[in-house]
Amino acid sequence: MPFLVILLIIILVLAIKSIKVVRQAEVYVIERLGKFNKIADAGLTIIIPFVDHVRSVVSLKEQTMDIPPQGVITEDNVTITIDTVVFYQITDPAKAVYEIQSLKKGIEYLAITTIRDIVGKMDLDSTFSSRDAINNKLRVILDEATDKWGCKVNRVEIKDITPPADIKDAMEKQMNAERNKRAAILSAEGEKQAAITIAEGRKEAAILEADAEKEAQIRRAAGEAQAIKEVANAKAKEIQLVYDAIKASNPDDKLVQLKSLEALEQIANGEANKVFIPFEATQALSTLGAVKEIFKDDKK
């Protein structure tokens, strides 16, 4: 009976040693007698107790690693502190275990030296304006260097770039000066545009006022001309009526000339009427004036 218990315990220990359950997104690197044997994927795996050994459990998930902040000297001799994070994923578990002593340490040291090499060739302003370029260069260099370690670097991000306190203060003053300069330029441009707009408005108003005055003068002149025309037409009709009446009563030439003179006198009495008499007619008019005076004396 004790023998059976001991045998059962031995079988149970062997079963525990030989049966391995690998979780999802993980693999087991299994050695046999100290030599690499196989990679056990997720699921149930059977190994030979005391012969096979699980060397390492490797995660296949994408992992992140913070690179300690590093002091870097730029091309213009300014010391800045750069904080970086690396995103990587193991693609070959066997290489990640056997090709390098510590994969994380290797990535960290490689990232530090690469950052110093890239940023050391740039000036201070370029480091702030070229973050994407720095990230891309870091990723390409790290990905090529870690490929032999069975690792792929998916992304590298610079979290922060910290300049010295005096440089930071000078940069803030420069930024404030640039903002004030842009504000002054915008204010001047606004005032200039406002002055131009006001001047154009005044110009257009003066043009419109001149056009209105011109139109008013044209209309007044047209009205006065029409009034003169109507008065002349009325006087002509009046003369025609007088002429017709005199003609109907068979007048002599002197009476006709006298009536014509009276009609001309009435026409000339108007303020807007202008009568132009040819020089040749002045003698006849003087004769008519004398006849008119004779008729007045006869009436008296």
Interacting residues of 95 by C-beta distance below 8 A, sequence separation 6+: 148, 149, 150, 151
pLDDT of residue 96: 92
**Coil, strand or helix at 130:** coil
Instruction: Report the pLDDT averaged over residues 52-67.
Output: 91
All domains of the chain in start order, with CATH: 2-59 (no CATH), 63-163 (3.30.479.30), 224-299 (no CATH)
Q: What share of the chain is helix, strand, coil (3-state, %, to 5)?
A: 60, 20, 15
Q: How far apart are the first and last CA of the chain?
A: 189
Interacting residues of 283 by C-beta distance below 8 A, sequence separation 6+: none
For 26, phi then psi, to 5°, come to -130, 155
Lowest mean pLDDT of 155-169, 201-215, 238-252, name the range. Answer: 238-252
Contact 61, 25 (CB under 8 A): yes
Is pLDDT larger for residue 167 or for residue 250?
167
**How are strands ordered across the β-sheet holding 52-59?**
35-40, 26-32, 52-59
The whole-model pTM stands at 0.55
d(CA 223, CA 228): 9
- The answer to whether the Cα torsion of 181, 187, 191, 194 is positive or negative is positive
Ramachandran quadrant class, 127 (left: phi over 0; alpha: psi -120 to 50; beta: rest): alpha
- pLDDT of 300 over the 50 cut: no
**Coil, strand or helix at 21:** strand
For residue range 106-161, list pLDDT tens digits in order. Answer: 999 999 999 999 988 888 888 888 888 999 999 999 999 999 999 999 999 998 88
Nearest Cα neighbor of 154 from 60, 63, 58, 82 is 63
Is pLDDT larger for residue 287 or for residue 14?
14
pLDDT of residue 260: 59
Tokens at residue 128, please?
Answer: 């702030």
**How far is it between the farthest Cα atoms of the chain?**
190
For residue range 224-233, list pLDDT tens digits in order. Answer: 888 888 777 7
- pLDDT of 272 over the 90 cut: no
d(CA 278, CA 285): 11
d(CA 211, CA 268): 35
- pLDDT of 298 over the 70 cut: no
For residue range 191-223, list pLDDT tens digits in order. Answer: 888 889 898 888 888 888 888 888 888 888 888
Tokens at residue 166, please?
Answer: 């005096």
Tokens at residue 262, please?
Answer: 């009276």
Q: What percent of the chain has pLDDT over 90?
A: 25
Per DSSP bridges, beta strands 79-90 and 26-32 are unpaired
pLDDT of residue 279: 45
Instruction: Work out the mean pLDDT of the chain and round it to a whole number.
Output: 80
